[in-house]
């Protein structure tokens, strides 16, 4: 039969693996900019912009804070992200329990209120919140940024925690109560540990979203508080220092190490069982 | 996770065993306290209040601002002047058009590029699945502004991408279509769409993956046993079952893409500006808050209409 002829073997192989090849190409498209960022952190550009390759240099790595104001903006971003994560995770977890565990009138409204911020473009949210602060004469600054970040992180925490709580086996809590655990004890020793992966996922997502947010922040920051993304935005107009790439690369490597480390320990725990 | 099996109601227990007051509900917890408990309201209070004050109430302020007139020096006053809306559409009509055009193209490209990757991770990755998922979200670990700037290097005029596309005359084709011009990629609509596609691709891949991953593989086997060709299996089984992911992914891509102004600013030119650029300029540079408010309202309205129609369409298709 013709289909078995060896001449067609490569064609058949291609057909069978077309999906894999297309998938790998998509992955390349996704990761290419990260490779470029990493590569250009070792560049020594001619002018103020770090867009063209000149010569290899480790200058930026040995002096990461050598650019005025950059590390200050980085510290501000970390501060905002930590606080926003703290508040959003606390409020969001409570709301997730209400929406996953109880039936009450107004639940539909509650779900819609949580869902809507995720279905709204950032420009719209940023501009309208900014309008609120303008109209109520609140000074733009650290506090307004923090308020905005808690606002848009909340929904993501609720979604992450709710999914986890919904999938939890209620019989485990029933068992705890049957064994004479009080409500508080049941919550602290059974419910909370079971929900922890969802809460952790929500917190990590908030941190990443808050740390990287630019659009909503730009509308609610005012002139004197500059977060790291705002610094990069300004730099894109004035000239991008190589140190920006160093920070980008370092963040990337740290996050990948954390995620891979977590996966390895999870795998090991699974195989121990 | 293998939870220790609870032998309690195994087999023998009839369904009426539990005197549950709430029947047929999903997700009701073990709490059988007072029926009209205030607990859920207390739990919802902090988040609900926060969103009511800082997400819902701003829209009322914005609505009132959008019908104000005046200037920054004299102050703005509500005059029920709807000319802000007509002015916005007259001045920035093209920006609106470009926003939805670019966002639609980017969403389509995301689907075309993202689907094979999601499919591969769900069905063909084997033990590499976890690692591949990490690689999909890994780009997020570098600030997206920095990554968008990296596209400036990749697409730069003398760069390898332009060189290759030029030598196979693809740039001639795209410039005929009005997507590029002057043998460059930067500062063209194509670059903006490419940036948008890149930025929102993971938002397409993750929902696609999660709906593909849930598909029961025995359905594939059944289709093959009934002599369906691979293409038919995909068309009749896999793709229809992945529709929830397609709907979620396209929405998660289209909505943020239509409001984006970063790609248009960094990769585009004054001729590729989107409505986000216009809102940002009016709000932060010109300080014409009524104009910015009107535009942001129009954008929101259009998105809500598009999304509602789309969800309705997708919902009925799913039933068929």
Q: For B185-244, write each residue's pLDDT tens digit.
A: 888 999 999 999 999 999 999 999 999 999 988 998 899 899 988 889 999 999 999 998
C-beta of residue B292 within 8 angstroms of C-beta of residue B283: yes
Helices (H), A213-241: 215-220, 228-238
B300 neighbourhood in chain A, CB within 8 Å: 120-121, 124
Q: Does B162 touch chain A (CB under 8 A)?
A: no
Q: Are A145 and A220 in contact (CB under 8 A)?
A: yes
Q: What is the C-alpha to C-alpha distance for residues B192 and B170, in angstroms, rounded to an integer?
A: 17
- A91 and A51 assigned to the same domain: no
Instruction: Name the least confident of A1-10, A123-132, B116-125, B214-223.
Output: A1-10
Q: Report residue B12's pLDDT band, with 50, 70 and 90 as the boundaries.
A: very low
Choose among B287, B250, B258: nearest CA to B275.
Answer: B258
Q: Are residues A160 and A195 in the same domain?
A: yes
Give the mean model confidence (pLDDT) for residues A240-250: 92
Matching residue, tokens 């894999």: A20
Cβ pairs A/B, distance under 8 A: 273
Structure tokens at A19: 């999906």
Distance between CA atoms of residues A214 and A194, nearest Å: 34
Q: How far apart are the C-alpha atoms of B108 and B62, rounded to whole Å?
A: 32
Query: Number of helices and strands (H, E) in chain B?
Result: 15, 2
A148 and A100, same structural domain?
yes
> Could you tell me the CATH number of the domain that includes residue B306?
1.10.3720.10
Which residue of chain B has the CA closest to A50? B153
Contact A107 B31 (CB under 8 A): no
DSSP character for B128? G
Residue A145: pLDDT above 80?
yes
pLDDT at residue B184 tops 60: yes
Q: Is B272 on the interface with A (CB under 8 A)?
A: no
Same domain, A253 and A228: no
Nearest to B143 among A218, A240, A248 (CB): A248
Tens of pLDDT, residues A163-214: 999 988 888 888 998 998 888 899 899 999 999 999 999 999 999 999 999 9
Of residues B22 and B165, the one with the higher pLDDT is: B165
Q: How much is the mean pLDDT over chain A?
A: 90
Domain total for chain B?
A: 1
| pLDDT higher than 80, residue B270 | yes
Q: Quick check: is B225 in a domain?
A: yes
Work out how many domains chain A is built from and give that number.
Answer: 2
Contact between B143 and A259 using a beta-carbon 8 Å cutoff:
no
Helices (H), ranges, B120-188 = 129-137, 144-154, 160-167, 170-176
pLDDT top residue among B141 and B212: B212
Q: Is the pLDDT of residue B318 over 50?
A: no
Residues A224 and A95 in one domain: yes
A252/B141 touch (CB, cutoff 8 Å), yes or no: yes
Beta-bridge partners for B75: B71
Using the predicted structure, report yes or no on whether residue A72 has a pLDDT greater than 80: yes
The Cα of B41 is separated from the nearest Cα of chain A by a number of Å equal to 7
Task: Give yes or no: residues A116 and A12 share one domain.
Answer: no
Residues B141-147, mean pLDDT to the nearest whole number: 90
Please tell me which of the candidates B58, B258, B262 has its beta carbon nearest to residue A131.
B58
Distances (CA, A) of A246 to A36, A41, B294: 12, 5, 41
Q: By percentage, how much of chain A surpasses pLDDT 90?
A: 59
Taking CA–CA distances from B260, the nearest residue in chain A reads A123
- Structure-block tokens of residue A125: 């949210």
Q: Which domain holds residue B233?
A: 91-319
Asked whether residue A221 falls in the same domain as residue A245, the answer is: no
Q: Residue B266: which of A154, A171, A236 has the nearest Cβ?
A: A236
Mean of the per-residue pLDDT values of chain B = 84
- Specify whether A151 is located in the same domain as A217: yes
What pTM, to 2 d.p., does this model score? Answer: 0.86
| Backbone phi and psi for residue B186, each to the nearest 5 degrees, phi listed first | -60, 150
pLDDT at B162 (0 to 100):
86
Instruction: Pick the residue from chain B with its C-alpha nearest to A130.
Output: B58
CA distance B306 to B243: 18
Q: Are strands B75-78 and B68-71 parallel, antiparallel or unpaired?
A: antiparallel
**Which residues are CB-contacts of B112 (< 8 A; sequence separation ≥ 6)?**
none
Q: Using 50, 70 and 90 to split pLDDT, how confident is the model at B40?
A: very high
How far apart are the C-alpha atoms of A160 and A195, rounded to whole Å? 10
Specify the residue for token string 């409020």.
A91
Among the residue ranges A126-130, A240-244, B7-11, B60-64, the one predicted with the least confidence is B7-11
Decide if B114 and A26 are in contact by the 8 Å CB cutoff.
yes
Which residues in chain B touch residue A92, judged by CB atoms under 8 angstroms apart?
Answer: 47
* Domain region containing A252: 1-63+241-273
Q: Which of residues 181-210 of B touch A (CB under 8 A)?
A: 198, 201-202, 205
Residue at B280 is within a domain: yes
What is the predicted pLDDT for the residue at B315?
A: 62
A263 and A135 assigned to the same domain: no
Q: Does B117 touch chain A (CB under 8 A)?
A: yes
| B256, part of any domain | yes
Q: Which two structure tokens, joined as six digits, stand for B233?
A: 């299996």
Whether residue A131 is found in the same domain as residue A259: no
Spatial separation of the C-alpha atoms in residues A70 and A48, rounded to whole Å: 15
- CA torsion B28-B30-B35-B40 (nearest 10°) is -70
What pLDDT sits at residue A169? 87
CATH code for the domain in which residue A228 is found: 1.10.3720.10
Are residues A82 and A215 located together in one domain of the fold? Answer: yes
Q: Which residues of B touch A37 (CB under 8 A)?
A: 142, 146-147, 150
* pLDDT for B176: 76
* Position B97 confidence tier, pLDDT thresholds 50, 70, 90: very high
Interface probe, candidates B68, B150, B214, chain A, greatest A C-beta count within 10 A: B150
Of the candidates A4, A11, A44, A75, the one whose C-alpha atom is nearest the C-alpha of residue A228 is: A75
Average pLDDT on A45-60 reads: 84
Q: A42 and A93: one domain?
A: no
Neighbours of A236 (CB within 10 A): 19
In a domain? residue B262: yes
Check CB contact under 8 Å for B3 and A172: yes
Residue B76 DSSP one-character state: E
């Amino acid at each position: 039969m013709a289909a078995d002829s060896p001449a067609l073997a490569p064609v058949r192989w291609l057909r069978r693996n077309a999906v894999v090849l297309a998938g790998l190409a998509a992955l390349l498209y996704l990761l290419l900019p990260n490779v470029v960022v990493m590569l250009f952190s070792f560049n020594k550009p001619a002018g103020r912009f770090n867009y063209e390759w000149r010569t290899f240099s480790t200058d930026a790595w040995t002096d990461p804070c050598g650019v005025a104001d950059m590390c200050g903006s980085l510290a501000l971003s970390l501060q905002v992200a930590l606080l926003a994560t703290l508040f959003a995770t606390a409020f969001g977890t409570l709301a997730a329990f209400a929406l996953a565990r109880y039936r009450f009138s107004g639940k539909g409204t509650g779900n819609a209120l949580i869902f809507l911020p995720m279905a709204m473009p950032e420009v719209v949210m940023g501009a309208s919140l900014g309008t609120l602060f303008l109209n109520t004469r609140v000074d733009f600054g650290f506090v307004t940024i923090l308020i905005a970040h808690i606002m848009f992180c909340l929904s993501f925490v609720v979604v992450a925690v709710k999914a986890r709580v919904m999938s939890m086996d209620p019989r485990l809590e029933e068992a705890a109560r049957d064994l004479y655990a009080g409500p508080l004890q049941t919550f602290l020793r059974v419910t909370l540990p079971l929900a922890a992966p969802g809460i952790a996922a929500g917190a990590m997502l908030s941190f990443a979203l808050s740390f990287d947010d630019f659009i909503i922040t730009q509308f609610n920051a005012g002139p004197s508080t500059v977060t790291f993304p705002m610094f990069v935005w300004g730099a894109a107009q004035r000239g991008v220092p190589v140190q920006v790439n160093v920070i980008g690369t370092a963040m990337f490597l740290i996050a990948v190490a954390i995620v891979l480390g977590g996966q390895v320990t999870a795998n090991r725990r699974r195989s121990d069982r | 996770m293998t939870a220790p099996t609870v032998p309690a109601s195994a087999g023998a227990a009839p369904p009426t065993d539990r005197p549950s007051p709430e029947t047929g509900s999903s997700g009701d917890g073990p709490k059988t306290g007072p029926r009209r408990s205030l607990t859920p309201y207390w739990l919802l209070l902090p988040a609900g209040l926060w969103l009511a004050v800082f997400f819902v109430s701003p829209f009322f302020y914005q609505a009132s601002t959008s019908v104000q007139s005046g200037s920054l020096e004299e102050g703005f006053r509500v005059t029920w002047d709807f000319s802000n809306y007509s002015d916005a559409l007259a001045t920035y009509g093209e920006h609106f058009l470009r926003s939805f055009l670019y966002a639609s193209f980017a969403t389509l490209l995301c689907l075309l590029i993202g689907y094979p990757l999601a499919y591969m991770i769900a069905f063909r990755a084997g033990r590499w699945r976890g690692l591949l998922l990490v690689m999909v979200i890994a780009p997020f670990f570098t600030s997206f502004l920095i990554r968008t700037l990296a596209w400036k290097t990749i697409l730069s005029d003398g760069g390898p991408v332009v060189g290759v596309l030029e030598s196979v005359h693809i740039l001639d084709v795209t410039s005929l279509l009005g997507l590029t011009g002057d043998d460059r990629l930067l500062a063209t609509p194509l670059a903006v769409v490419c940036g948008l596609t890149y930025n929102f691709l993971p938002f397409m891949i993750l929902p696609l993956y999660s709906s593909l991953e849930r598909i029961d593989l025995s359905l594939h086997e059944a289709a093959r046993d009934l002599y369906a060709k691979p293409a038919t299996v995909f068309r009749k089984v896999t793709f229809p079952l992945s529709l929830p992911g397609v709907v979620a992914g396209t929405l998660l891509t289209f909505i943020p893409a239509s409001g984006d102004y970063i790609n248009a600013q960094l990769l585009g030119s004054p001729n590729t500006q989107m409505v986000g650029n216009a809102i940002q300029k009016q709000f932060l540079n010109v300080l014409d808050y009524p104009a910015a408010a009107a535009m942001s309202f129009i954008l929101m309205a259009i998105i809500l209409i598009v999304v509602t129609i789309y969800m309705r369409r997708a919902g009925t298709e799913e039933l068929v």
